[in-house]
Amino acid sequence: MNLTLDIGNTAVKWATFEGRELVDCGVGMPDEWLAKADHTLACASGNLPEDVAVERLTADTPLPIKLDYKTPETLGADRVADACGAVSLHPGEPCLVIDAGTCITVDFVDAKGVYHGGAIMPGLKMNLQALHTFTAKLPLIDLERVEKAPVLGRSTEESILAGTLGATLLALAGYVTLYKEKAPGLRVLLTGGDAEKLMASGANGWEHVPHLTLIGLNEILIENEK
């Protein structure tokens, strides 16, 4: 059994796999599974607890994809895992992965399984926090109670949401359009904690894969078991 962990800035997500079949998943440190797993791999953009000894995805880890990136040593492990997951789900097809977490990343993998890079932009909560922090009167909006972004803001709160969720979605849609011109037949995969907010706000036609990072880590484990 394989155990994969996505250790982010706000939460630890995990999944167990038998081969490529996802068996179980959850949030928090899976102490029971850590002792039972045959193979474990973690990507850590956040801090890993000192008492947890697991193998981490690094720039030296063999991958099932090729990297065409100027600074692979600085490339986020979660971005690499997302790309590996996308290629495993759609082999032989170009993929654009949008991971909506603390930051939002956009990453392109071509039909030959070559990762070319992409973009990093502030996440939804980061944008909301910045508006509140760097102005005198704009309130801090709790994203958890927001279902979707209004197109037209008819109050200060609605205007902030239109300018964060709405503008973020328009920016991402613009990236999708650009990459579809570059790679006909492009698959667009959406993952991350704020993916559902984007979907509710109009991210139509994108494939929602909640556990994409964990799936990609499992693919890397499978590659290294050969």
- Phi, psi for residue 186 in degrees, rounded to 5: -60, 135
Q: How confident is the model at residue 225 (pLDDT cuts 50, 70, 90)?
A: confident
- What are 134-157's pLDDT values in tens digits? 999 999 998 888 877 777 889 999
In this predicted structure, what is the pLDDT of residue 30? 85
Two structure tokens written together for 38: 């045959």
Count of CB atoms within 10 A of residue 18's CB? 10
Of all residues in the chain, what percent carry a pLDDT higher than 70?
96
Looking at residue 47, the DSSP 8-state letter turns out to be P
Q: Is residue 90 part of a domain?
A: yes
Choose between 197 and 186: higher pLDDT: 186
Q: Give the containing element (helix H, strand E) for 27.
A: strand 21-27
pLDDT score of 19: 94
48 or 118, higher pLDDT: 118
d(CA 175, CA 106): 8
Q: Is residue 94 part of a domain?
A: yes
| Phi (first) and psi of residue 159, to 5 degrees | -65, -40
Residue 135 covered by a domain = no
Mean of all residue pLDDT scores within the chain: 91
pLDDT above 70 for 50: no
CATH number at residue 10: 3.30.420.40
Is residue 97 in some structural domain? Answer: yes
pLDDT confidence of 44, banded at 50, 70, 90?
Answer: confident
Q: Is 158 left (phi over 0), alpha (psi -120 to 50) or beta?
A: alpha
Helix (H) or strand (E) segment spanning residue 170:
helix 167-182
Q: Is residue 66 part of a domain?
A: yes
Q: How many CB atoms lie within 10 A of CB 71?
A: 8
31, 51, 78, 99: which is the annotated catalytic residue? 78
Q: How many helices (H) and strands (E) does the chain have?
A: 7, 10
130 domain residue, yes or no: no
pLDDT confidence of 48, banded at 50, 70, 90? low
**pLDDT recorded at residue 29:** 85
Rounded CA-CA distance 86/116 in Å is 14
78 is catalytic: yes
How do residues 61-79 score in pLDDT, each as one tens digit? 999 999 999 999 999 999 9
Mode of pairing for the β-strands spanning 95-100 and 103-109: antiparallel
pLDDT of amino acid 146: 82
Domain of 177, in residue numbers: 2-124+164-225
Band (216; pLDDT cuts 50, 70, 90): very high
pLDDT digits (tens, 9 = 90+) for 116-130: 999 999 999 999 999
92: its two tokens = 């032989």
Structural contact between residues 119 and 175, judged by C-beta atoms closer than 8 angstroms: yes
DSSP sequence for 129-154: HHHHHTSSSPPPP-GGG--S--SS--
pLDDT at 46: 64
CA distances from 157 to 77, 141, 193, 198 (A): 35, 7, 22, 17
Q: Which amino acid is at 32?
A: E
Q: How many domains does the chain have?
A: 1
- Residue 133 in any domain: the answer is no
- Asked whether the predicted pLDDT for residue 49 surpasses 70, the reply is no
